[in-house]
Structure 1
Amino acid sequence: MTRAQLYDIVKPEFRDLIHENLSLTRISSGHVWTEGPVWFPAHRQLLFSDIPNQRLCRWTPDGGTSVFRAPSNFANGNTRDLQGRLVTCQHGTRSVVRTEHDGSQKVIADAHEGKRLNSPNDVIVHSDGSIWFSDPAYGILSDLEGSRADPEQEGNFVYRVAPDGQWIRPVATDFVQPNGLAFSKDESRLYVAESGSSHDASVPPVLKVYDVLTDGELACVRDFAEIDNGLPDGLRVDHYDNVWCSANDGVHVFAPTGDLIGKVLVPERVANLTFGGERGNVLFITATTSVYSVFVNTGAS
């Protein structure tokens, strides 16, 4: 990929977020479907999932790629909690689990109203300690990313687990297949990817946005932006409240108004992304068989 091919600059303000003289770097390859990147500053490492291969992988600048956990129970989305612990969505166990500092695992959520979840997909943590995750059906549709099974829930929802972990409830129920999640910088808005067009072309490939109320409820849902190539999957919000979202042709970047300002073009279909690195200014991209990185002029919100 040449430098000229790396960016699609739609609006001038996108230039402030990138370094046009830098190239995309493939830092890991040979996977089947990479997902769930999360950077751990204390360990200078990126963790990411290779879902069909049932591996959680580790990448470090000095050591390259190694296996962090296998089998991974078809791990998908990952994040850090407020104590720096790994929180993971597992298709195989249809649960959200936390890895404690001693390496043991604790189930955060695996059911609602006595019925098994579908297949938790992406997960984020609010500053109040609550855990929010999407629960589409992808992990039970086939045996590729989990185990084929009939859904037990009435639909595919976004859930919130209370800070004390004692109760779980759906907060968004108006999706065909909810996917990536991200809060705005001040946590007043929640962005959610609708990826239902993966199996139903009539579903618009949109990012929806909600107002987040002080009691953890959501209100005033509206369409924020539409992906013009493929469908939205994982997403992140940067320092300036821009939304960076995965797509077939790369990472689409939207201003806080919802206007597309540019794209980071990637030679493989992108599933997810995160910011990390020593100074937080590296964009890590999980894209089908590979993981890529590029320095940017922004970072996580």
Structure 2
Amino acid sequence: MQLTTLRQSQIRARLASACALALLLPLQAYAEKKSNKDLALIDQCSSHYQAAERDSLKLINDKLLFLEGPTWSVTDQAFYFSEMNFSGSQLNGPDANIYQYKLNDKPTLWLAHSGSNGLLAEGDDLYVLKHSDRSVSRINLSTQKQTVVVNQFNGKPFNSPNDISRHSNGGIYFSDPDWQLSERKNELNSTSVFWLPAQGTLVEIDQLNKPNGIVLSPDEKWLYVGDYSNHIYRYPVNDDGSVGQRQPFIDVDGPDGITIDCAGNLYVASHSQGKLQIYSPEGLLYQSITVAPQITNMDFGGKDMKTLLITTGNGLFTLQTKMAGIAR
């Protein structure tokens, strides 16, 4: 009887191990495909959601202005984020600065008058979505040399590029609402989501009502996009990074920035409610955490990728999580 029980225990253990391995294999394959250590500690990823520690929410700074676009740089072991000033001239959108924040230190000004909103660190570069010149640009982290990646579609300028996500093949997805267009003309007569292959022509994925947050799933099978109509949509992603037809996913009150953890759980900034909403890959609401009014965005960072930097219109915060994040 004892021997039978032991064997049953061994079988159960092997089955559990096999299931865990099956869940992790797509992520491991993704990590190998990326060949980047700045993704996440994939081998520490749990398929079961572990709640973020509400009591770990910490105010880092409340002296800056309206904050947006956080990203983690593995190269510099630091976060970068944008600050926008809506009280001055809005001729080319709000004046903006980029700050650097190293954990356990104070945010420091990194680049003044950057004209930026969303940011994405990748290797030695920082992708910058700029409302000032209506471009997606790239800035070298060492020299601060700027290069325009793309600034128009069909010969017409973008509105005010907002948020970005990157495919492992080097292509980028980005949203182009008109939040910081100011009095400039919307020459596209739309607000859209775009896909720029590493080698190829810019593609308009979809036209939405002021699309905002955008993120790719860890296995690169789904692209998630939020818009002003309180919807978050998902799009099936092909092996080459191209995208299929829009599918309804979840509704969120005033969705702003979106990020994702290694298990594919979505972290959504509900701008209207001042809350961080966390959803399963199936759209189940796992957790809702009140942060601050006008929460805008968040991104994972730190050595274990379990520190969430949260930007708002009223301060900069960190939150400790038990799930590791991945590079966007």
Percent identity between the aligned chains?
26
Partner in structure 1 of residue 210 of structure 2: 177
- Say if 2:81 is the partner of 1:48: yes
Partner in structure 2 of residue 157 of structure 1: 192
Deviation at 1:213, TM superposition (A): 1.5
Deviation at 1:42, TM superposition (A): 2.7
Partner in structure 2 of residue 107 of structure 1: 148
Cα distance in 2, alignment partners of residues 48 and 37 from structure 1:
4
Which structure is larger by alpha-carbon Rg, 1 or 2? 2
Tell me the amino acid that sits aligned with residue 163 of structure 2: D
Deviation at 1:62, TM superposition (A): 4.3
1:123 aligned to 141, 164, 181, which one?
A: 164
1:232-290 C-alpha deviation (Å, 9 max, x unpaired): 01001111111000012211001111111111211322100000112111111101121
Aligned to 1:138, what secondary structure does the other structure show?
A: coil
Cα distance in 2, alignment partners of residues 120 and 220 from structure 1:
22
Cα distance in 2, alignment partners of residues 84 and 184 from structure 1:
23
- Say if 2:231 is the partner of 1:246: no
TM-score of the two chains, using structure 2 as the length reference? 0.78
Contact 1:206 1:232 in 2 (8 A): yes
- Say if 2:52 is the partner of 1:18: yes
Instruction: Report the RMSD for the aligned CA atoms in angstroms.
Output: 1.6
- Tell me how many residue pairs correspond in the alignment: 267
Tell me the amino acid that sits aligned with residue 158 of structure 1: V
Gaps of 5+ in 1: 1-12, 143-147, 196-202
Tell me the amino acid that sits aligned with residue 316 of structure 2: V
Partner in structure 1 of residue 21 of structure 2: none
Contact 1:172 1:218 in 2 (8 A): no
Partner in structure 1 of residue 254 of structure 2: 231
Partner in structure 2 of residue 31 of structure 1: 64
Alignment map for 1:53-202 (pairs within 5 Å):
53-73=95-115, 75-81=116-122, 83-100=123-140, 101-140=142-181, 142=182, 148-164=183-199, 167-173=201-207, 175-195=208-228
1:146-201 C-alpha deviation (Å, 9 max, x unpaired): xx21111131111111213x53121222x111111001110110000112xxxxxx
Cα distance in 1, alignment partners of residues 239 and 98 from structure 2:
35
Partner in structure 1 of residue 281 of structure 2: 256
Deviation at 1:46, TM superposition (A): 1.1
TM-score of the two chains, using structure 1 as the length reference? 0.84
Aligned to 1:218, what secondary structure does the other structure show?
A: coil
Relative to its length, the structure with more helix (as a share) is 2
1:119-143 C-alpha deviation (Å, 9 max, x unpaired): 1000111100001111111111x3x
Aligned to 2:180, what secondary structure does the other structure show?
A: helix
